[in-house]
Structure 1
């Protein structure tokens, strides 16, 4: 009851909590239309990809959902998140801790947070993307929500310019067939067009093995499907919750004769990449890191953005 009362109190004070309350922008998003402050100063972000968008805009949030792994942030974020308060995870937001930060803007995802949208909106203006699969469109919405629409457009354009430079540097290799395989505790997956990595690979122009050249995020497969992973290049990644099960599955699979007999493996063209970058983070920082990974693996001499 005490927390519910505090939410009501926050809602009552909302007009006075907004800096320049009469100076607001109207944002259309996955949950409707919301008035947000022109220049929010205390932003809480409930998705990993939203956090990356804010960092790219130079807006360090006051609070954020923790990374899917890390302590509590992905290694590829470096020290960018120093001093940011953890407000739970993407799937379990700590509303009381969030409210204590007195944010003036909350960013989240309809897919993850639709059920708690009323509670979040009682704390501060709340803007949702639909989900995290399209980081480019999401980047633009996040940027508009903090009064930085032009900067958001510029960041997406910079990513697209990097893609074009990488594609040119790859030459005929840009037409390679590439396979993406992921080990998670108890299950092997291949990733498809609509996954985060699939979007980036499609942007570059890579082809995919038949079973991966489909709409959708991913397909759970058994080891008997390993021959269908054949490609010119393979990128494999492992998600491990800390109990070693994901790593164990990776080890078992890499020892399997079906894996060892893949031409891509025998040619030395199967490469382990970071799960946080290629799958779990799903933000624009991770997308640019993916481009750098691909440039490094292919040995291309191309000048890409350093962020």
Structure 2
């Protein structure tokens, strides 16, 4: 009953405006235009990618959708999320928990939460990105939403500068063809240009194997397609829901003669990387962690910028 009362009171307000909030800006986003309060302090974020953007801006949300891995946050976030309330997952937001946190701003994604946008907007001003693919443009929108547009632009520029430094440090290896393979329970995937890892690898300037050098996120393949994964370098990752099926598929595939006979495997240039960083998080902190992984694997010092 308490939750229903909160929603009823909020629904009676002007869309996206809280009582007493000072409107600093009108933010245009995929769902329309939303008036956001000046310097929001109680932010709820409903995507892992959005959480990383906030953290890099120096703002810790009061509530967030849990990470796909971790208990409840990704390992690469360290202790940044200490004390943050879990408000469900990206695909199952707990509206009552969101309302009880009394946020003054909610950040989410049309792809994940379009159906509950009206309820969220009744609780607090709500800004949505389209999806998590374009983490750089999303960062700029999140930054505008919290009154930190200049800081957001600077952070994206710092990422671009880190990419340029890595490209330079890689030397002739910057022209390598790199393959990205992912083990998911019951299915083997290769990842393409429009995937999160694909965007970062494209930024660096790497080439991709023919089947991966295509538009789109990913392609489900069978083990007979393993020879098409050949490359100068390979990065492979495993998504496991906790029942061990993803890990079992990884183990089974790595023992397959087709895999063992790949030149990239025989030369020791196939590297296991973290799935949270390379696939599921999709945020700017994960992108920076990807750059660091690549520098470490290639043994180069890119002199990355500090956060």
**TM-score over 0.5 for the pair:** yes
TM-score, structure 1 as length reference: 0.97
Q: Which residue of 1 aligns with 2:225?
A: 225
* Pairs within 5 Å for 1:294-305: 294-305=294-305
Secondary structure at the residue paired with 1:14?
Answer: coil
Whether the 8 Å CA contact 1:14–1:124 is kept in 2: the answer is: no
Q: Which residue of 2 aligns with 1:240?
A: 240
Whether the 8 Å CA contact 2:13–2:122 is kept in 1: the answer is: no
Whether the 8 Å CA contact 2:52–2:284 is kept in 1: the answer is: yes
Secondary structure at the residue paired with 1:52?
Answer: helix
CA pair 19-302 structure 1, distance change in 2 beyond 3 A: farther
How many residues align? The count is 307
Whether the 8 Å CA contact 1:184–1:240 is kept in 2: the answer is: yes
Computed over aligned residues only, the root mean square deviation of the Cα atoms, in angstroms, reads: 1.5
Secondary structure at the residue paired with 1:189?
Answer: strand
TM-score, structure 2 as length reference: 0.97
Instruction: Quote how far apart the aligned CAs of 1:14 are.
Output: 7.3
Secondary structure at the residue paired with 2:128?
Answer: strand
Instruction: Quote how far apart the aligned CAs of 1:22 are.
Output: 3.8
Whole-angstrom distance in 1 between the partners of 2:149 and 2:78: 26
Q: Which residue of 1 aligns with 2:27?
A: 27
Instruction: Quote how far apart the aligned CAs of 1:13 are.
Output: 6.1
Secondary structure at the residue paired with 1:67?
Answer: coil
Instruction: Quote how far apart the aligned CAs of 1:8 are.
Output: 1.2
Q: Which residue of 2 aligns with 1:12?
A: 12
Whole-angstrom distance in 2 between the partners of 1:2 and 1:101: 13
Secondary structure at the residue paired with 1:25?
Answer: strand
* Pairs within 5 Å for 1:1-307: 3-12=3-12, 18=18, 21-307=21-307
Q: Which runs of 5+ in 1 are unaligned?
A: none
Instruction: Quote how far apart the aligned CAs of 1:87 are.
Output: 0.1
CA pair 8-181 structure 1, distance change in 2 beyond 3 A: same
Instruction: Quote how far apart the aligned CAs of 1:170 are.
Output: 0.3
Secondary structure at the residue paired with 1:17?
Answer: coil
Whole-angstrom distance in 1 between the partners of 2:121 and 2:17: 13
Instruction: Quote how far apart the aligned CAs of 1:20 are.
Output: 5.6
Whether the 8 Å CA contact 1:143–1:152 is kept in 2: the answer is: yes
Residue by residue over 1:206-259, the C-alpha shift from the partner in whole angstroms, topping out at 9 and shown as x without a partner, is 000000000000001111100000000000000111111110000000000000
Whole-angstrom distance in 2 between the partners of 1:16 and 1:46: 17
Whether the 8 Å CA contact 1:14–1:123 is kept in 2: the answer is: no
Whole-angstrom distance in 2 between the partners of 1:147 and 1:57: 11
Whether the 8 Å CA contact 2:162–2:304 is kept in 1: the answer is: yes
Q: Which runs of 5+ in 2 are unaligned?
A: none
Whole-angstrom distance in 2 between the partners of 1:219 and 1:4: 44
Instruction: Quote how far apart the aligned CAs of 1:11 are.
Output: 3.4
